[in-house]
Amino acid sequence: MKAIVEPSPDTPLVWFEVAIRGGASADPIGVEGLHRHTGLLARRGAARRQRAELDDTLDSLGAALDVSLSRDSLALSGLSLTRHMDEVIDLAADILAEPRFDDDEHARLLRETPQVLDEIRDDDSALATRWFDWLCSPGHPYGRTSLGTEASLARIGELGRDAARDLWRREVVADNLVIGLAGDVDEATAERLVARLVERLPKGARVPDPPEPRTPPPGRRTILVDKPDRTQAQLRIGHLASRYGHPDTAALAIAEAVFGGMFSSRLMQEIRVKRGWSYGAGCALRRSRLPHWFEIWTAAGIDVAGAAVALELELYADYAAKGPTDDEVDFARSYLVGAMPFHVATARQRMQLAVRDSLFDLPVGYTARLPELLGQLAATDVRAACTRHFHPANAVTVAVTTAEHARPALEAANAGPITVVRHDEY
């Protein structure tokens, strides 16, 4: 078990995070959503407290205990007033060591989750992301839905709550955890609290990483998610890229900033400032333990959706081929180095970054020391990284919009063959 402590007396609050290695990428094939289901179910009652009593107790302390899921981990995060932190830590320890996994809550959660799916289908941006994940790299552990599908949720129902209990028993073990604690607490107290969190857990072992992703099929392809009455198209363009912590991470941070990570970036200037086609446009490399996506995002008016896709692909191809100019590299480096103090300004931020670095098995302080690496890079290093990691010929596109209006222009966007799907079919 790895523990990270960031004391700070700034406010009478304590934050903590218990990250459980595994996450959605460790869901068995066909049982997508199991980690989410298990984590939420664990939060719904522990030891002698059923869900209602646990909620009442936490709320009466002014505290919060929330479960969140990423591709790489499941996390139990807590927030407490300093004077109640012992009680809140005890409640968190109960959840970790003795979740009830009550039958009625298991059944209720299975009824609730399809409605979260409805909410995603009602939200164009979330829907675009869901389809982009699906399309980007078939077979990749990150390409499967963390929420689940109607079919995988039915499978979780067939397996029963024992599947959740087994997962918890396997993954919530001391050696599979990274724990962070920050705020109004001294180091000795923090160590005592961390010990309390894990004292009833077996030592266990780390869960194995999911298999390395297969190379996605070459070429461009497009999914047009047909939804009625749209005035815009939510657009995503991208492909499988690298993992966070790859030797090119610093160079790619500069490349990302130049192309779409700042207001001054190429995408924002071309799409928003010069043409007014979208409120925003940018790109991001998703920071994960395994290779994850490079993603361009924008929400263009439906009349210019095809033109926006064509332009973004053109800009991307040019950028991948030539990379940033020397001036652009200098500018982005200055931005990224200067921005670091904002990412580590509070104890909570420092703790969260350190927890993430640890989950990714990166050296202590890796992210906080990126400015040093940025300072050592030449513009040629950044351009070489662009060539190695950016593949516009294999960029996939997702457009959530009204097919009747947007399809002709999208077909002319040079984004590969188009498959039209209903907005509620995945």
Residues that bind other proteins in the complex, under the rule CB under 8 A: 8-13, 51-52, 55-56, 58-64, 79-81, 108, 111-112, 114-116, 118-119, 121-124, 227-232, 262-264, 269, 272-279, 299-301, 331, 334-342, 344-346, 348, 423-424
Look up tokens 């675009």; give the residue. 128
Q: Identify which of residues 233 and 251 has a Cβ nearer to other proteins in the complex.
A: 233
Distance CA 125, CA 282 (A): 14
Percent of residues in the chain assigned helix, strand, coil, to nearest 5: 50, 20, 30
Q: Identify which of residues 269 and 414 has a Cβ nearer to other proteins in the complex.
A: 269
- State in angstroms the smallest separation of the CB of 279 from other proteins: 4
The tokens for 395 are 């960029």
- State in angstroms the smallest separation of the CB of 87 from other proteins: 12
Query: Distance of CA 295 to CAs 154, 272, 388, Å?
Result: 31, 17, 16
Strands 221-226 and 418-422: parallel
Q: Identify which of residues 228 and 417 has a Cβ nearer to other proteins in the complex.
A: 228
- State in angstroms the smallest separation of the CB of 280 from other proteins: 8
Largest Cα–Cα separation, the chain: 65
Q: Identify which of residues 73 and 113 has a Cβ nearer to other proteins in the complex.
A: 113
- State in angstroms the smallest separation of the CB of 170 from other proteins: 27
Q: Identify which of residues 80 and 367 has a Cβ nearer to other proteins in the complex.
A: 80
> Which of 230, 187, 395, 422 has the alpha carbon at shortest distance from 310?
395
Q: Identify which of residues 289 and 333 has a Cβ nearer to other proteins in the complex.
A: 333
- State in angstroms the smallest separation of the CB of 48 from other proteins: 17
Q: Report how far Cα 416 is from the mean position of its chain's Cα atoms.
A: 27
The tokens for 110 are 């299975």
- State in angstroms the smallest separation of the CB of 173 from other proteins: 27
In DSSP terms, 20 is beta-bridged to: 74, 177
The tokens for 239 are 């492909």
- State in angstroms the smallest separation of the CB of 226 from other proteins: 11
Q: Identify which of residues 25 and 278 has a Cβ nearer to other proteins in the complex.
A: 278
Distance CA 249, CA 370 (A): 9
